[in-house]
Structure 1
Amino acid sequence: MKKIHFIISLFVLILFLGCASEESGNIDLGGVSAPANVSALTTITQDNSGKVTFLPKGEGVTQYKINYGDGSPESDYFSPGGTTTHTYKEGVYKSKIIAMGINGKTTETTQDVMVSFLAPTNLQATLAHVLGDNFSATVTAKANFETYFQVFFGETANETPVNFMEGETIKHTYANVGTYKVKVIALSGGAAKTTYEESITISNPVLLPVDFESPTLNYAFTNFGGANTVVANNPSVGENNPSAKVAKLTKNTGSEVWAGSFIELGVPIDFSTLKKIKIKTWSPKAGIVVKMKLENLTNPDINTEVDVTNTVANGWEDLTFDFSAVDNAKNYQRLVVFFDFGTNGTGADYYFDDIQLTSGVETVKLPLTFESSTLVYKFTSFGGANSVLADNPDKTGINTSAKVGALTKGNGSEVWAGSFIELAAPLNFSSFKKLKLKVWSPQAGIVVKLKLENFADSSINKEVDATSTVANGWEELTFDFDGATTANQFQRVVVFFDFGVNGTGKTYYFDDIKQSN
């Protein structure tokens, strides 16, 4: 390569000689000096890109090239007045400016190039809680002159930071409640950096509705008068309460007539819309007074209470406490429960579960029998199907109900035509993992599909198929939803008949949708 550039220089020299031949017959090529006073103006772009521009200068130079000093290939030769650009990492480098004269002689000059990055500016980090997930937080960040970010979530002493870029959202799930210092660092690509710190409090408050199923919530009961309440196994798992966990209140022998327990909620109860509280109860005897009392968290003298008498022994029943007259501004946050109020304790155990606000109006829930005279069974149909509440076409065998659901799959309807009904509350899968459905079909051997969907996000779903075996008669099909969890918040029940086949106008009937094992 040096020979080529030397030849170019000779070509320039020949042209020069041609122009000067009339004035002198001899030119001493060897007498031409090598370039002198060689240097370069280096300009560093102030955007943390590491980009450096070289503008060489010197005397008696026909072309230049640069050795950047960082181990990368040298530049190509370029003419005087030209520039070359190179991108460095932060550091100090010994570059070489190589200047060639008209006779091929070269002069090299070593020149230090110092590349330092600015600290990022205008760092903006956003730390946020995750809706519906009390233990998780997210971080996003942006800044000027940054190359990337690091975040320390403050959970462990020797934490490894998470690297991320602008535009990314980083999610972290904490193991425990507490206050943590989160540190976000904007890095320049070199030593300079900018740091932002913010504390986040992770809490897991007990909020209505309370179902005692969470493995992370602290259901902290305060007991008085000789009562004692703990979270315990459901003593009677069944259709009326499929929960795995419930609260157990033991009214110890000789305890006060007013013995009870309370739990404190994370926020005051909001009575602005719903005015009643419903609770599932289990008692070894019927006819006892169950009292619910609400208190202000800081001043227990601000309180209100309602009594209800139970009607079921050794079984679950729903009791509703009417707080319609309550003043919502009193900020009731402590919920107190008494069983067999007015009677001294005998050592009996009482259970309660699913504390929730309610309108007091009957709601659509499992088991779904279609027999209520007050409920509105609202079906939503799609794909050419149509479902309505209808009279039972065959009151024999396993189903003598008066009312059932009737799905007509219209002529030419889609193979996936079906209907769904929405429940008032999500299904609890802590104990019962299967659903049962009574069906009546004019033909046997068809696929009956049952699908469960999240009310807010239908992409969260699970479906199970069963094949009918009876024509023109009732049979009960079982759908195994193993793997479904209460956290899926399945609240929409979708039914398909003769799935995979276009409709022919046939009508199919269904009834008694319930959870089971």
Structure 2
Amino acid sequence: MQLQLVQQIKILTMKKIKTIYKALIILIFFSACSEENNLDFLDAIPAPSNVSATYNISQDNTGLVTISPTGESTVEFDVYFGDTTLESVKVKAGQSTSHVYAEGTYNVKVVAYNLKGDTAEITKPLIVSFKAPENLEVVLENDLAVSKQVNVKATADFATMFDFYSGESGVTQPVASGNIGETISYQYQEAGEYDIKVVAKGGAIETTEYIATFEVTEILAPIVSAPTQPNRNESDVISIYSSAYTDVTGTNYFPDWGQGGQGSSWAEFDLNGDKMLQYINLSYQGIALQDGTSVDISTMEFLHMDVWTSGGTTDLETSLINNASGTVTESPVTRSLTAGEWTRIEIPISEYVDQGLTVTEIFQMKFVGTPSAEGTVFIDNIYFYKVPAQTGAPILFDDFEGNGNITTWAGDAAGLNTAFANPFIDANNESATVLEYNDTGGQYANIRFDNASNFDLSGGNSTFKLKIYVPSSSISGSQPNQISLKLQDGTAAEPWALQTEVVKAISLDTWQEITFDFANDVTVGEPDPVNRTDFNRVVIQVNSENNTDTVIAYIDDFSYGNTIVDTPPFATDDFEGNGTITTWAGDSCGMDNMFANPYIDTNNQSATVLEYNDTGGQYANIRFDVSPNFDLTAKAKFTLKIYVPSSSISGSQPNQISLKLQDGTAAEPWALQTEIVKSLALDTWQEITFDFANDVTIGEPDPINRTDFNRVVLQVNSENNNDTVIAYIDDFNYHN
């Protein structure tokens, strides 16, 4: 009975402690302040995370164990020893507690508290033995991603912890300690061979040692490729060196302006088939276009480069060199590099122009490393580009960089910043500023805006789009990773009562574009939203509602509808019964345009897709015809999603898809065809765009001015072979 009473008291104490923390904070706050007070700062305090504990056992057969709890966003811990001791011990952050154990195995529980009383807990095993450790096994590995870092794991019977001695001179040893069975990491200052030692400890006076010579390695070259580059119109990019675009032909990537004889050199580094430039012991080196060739970058907006260094080069100076009628001028711009990872460099062309440089005849580039000739750099994706011109404006939009027509953004129990510096700039989102959505635990946290006039979802304007990035480190709790967009009547007393919403799953730690289509997506709430005329509010909610979990999201490029009026022919098909294409046919190729999607994920959540099944037809393809004929001066782009499982492929054909335009009324439609071929990645959904105005074409030239095209042919992995391949195709669209 006494034990049960103690346990009940402990439970009640746990329930009340959060309230006590908040009360103390409020009391202190109001006692210290005489002006208007605001407790909103409490909502910004993150929940405790990464809670752990390390053990240090006294080697004197006493069973004395020192427990050091750790965690992020913590101020205090409760440590439950796991033996017959009923009460926990409170430990301030950064401090330790000690406890005497009898021999045995225990489960130690650590409960962490933040400043406002939120909790997180872990349970860790503890072995206390007065026998010397036996069967010591040590695993030492060079970290695959961090240069000169060694990961050490030790296991042993009758051991509680282990010490790691690095073998370095002039360094206090041991350099690190850890719990037995767990992995610790240590980063050396220099690569090389070291005589290391691992000492396993238990409660006994006697210890057990492991001694070995281990070679610590330095990562001197990238182990992952530079980020994938976005699709760009050919007219919007001038590529010097990038597999993503068409490079200027005849370019010399090592003209060697006298530095080769001083120890500098170059190579084309091959990372599993991905090639990049390698400048070794970089003092200064350059790139020269073919004699008599120059590029006019006056209409471009940025110079892009991806640069990797192991650390010898801290800064890279990049000069553009112009040759205007024989007068050679150059201007430099310097950017810092981050060692051991790809540095994304974006230099506005204006930084060169503002120095007085003319950029109409760029014929050379120069790279200067700092410190000189002490480091190697790897460079990929060197190109000039501009943001594509809009072909039509959305009805509502906001890029959170000062361009947009949404002025009523508001947060409801969620922090909101519409001019937040983009913390995850990459090839999928190069915006400098985004909207920050910060749900610190509001039960119905969301953000919203109201429109001056009600939405008209008919006539094809039923779609909302946005980009979103949710860092996994920002999430607490177990809510589904999702985003919902709700439409409401903001003038109603209870706007949510008759709302309609679309919910989409999201991936973590990546930018992705999400589309909410109230005409075609599955909706929740009131039915038939397209025919509603009272919607004037948009509500965005990340990771569900009616909970107090936390999440941070970054949102960009919000848009609704489009003012562009489409013109015939119309050629769309989502293979879920919505589309205009009725003439799909297979030519020596199996085809099912209502096939259950076998690879549903966040990149394609469609239930049904088109299955393309080439069982060995020599010229296998699928096709459809349209009426009237295509007018490529009005619309020149075809877009689709495709998934090709590697397990379906036989033979050695290139992984590619081609889209061919033909005159289907001709006796030999292929005779005067024009096609675009695009490479494919395997085992992933990807979106491919075929742009007959800007992409490289094969076959009859000048497709834009052809007026006889009325057939589309799709062909996967080439033709004139008997190899097999299965592909899944979705969301075909002909557009501008």
In which range does the TM-score fall when normalised by the shorter chain? 0.3 to 0.5
Higher relative contact order by CA 8 Å / sep ≥ 6: 1 or 2? 1
Q: Which has the higher strand share?
A: 1
Larger Rg: 1
TM-score, scaled relative to structure 1: 0.32
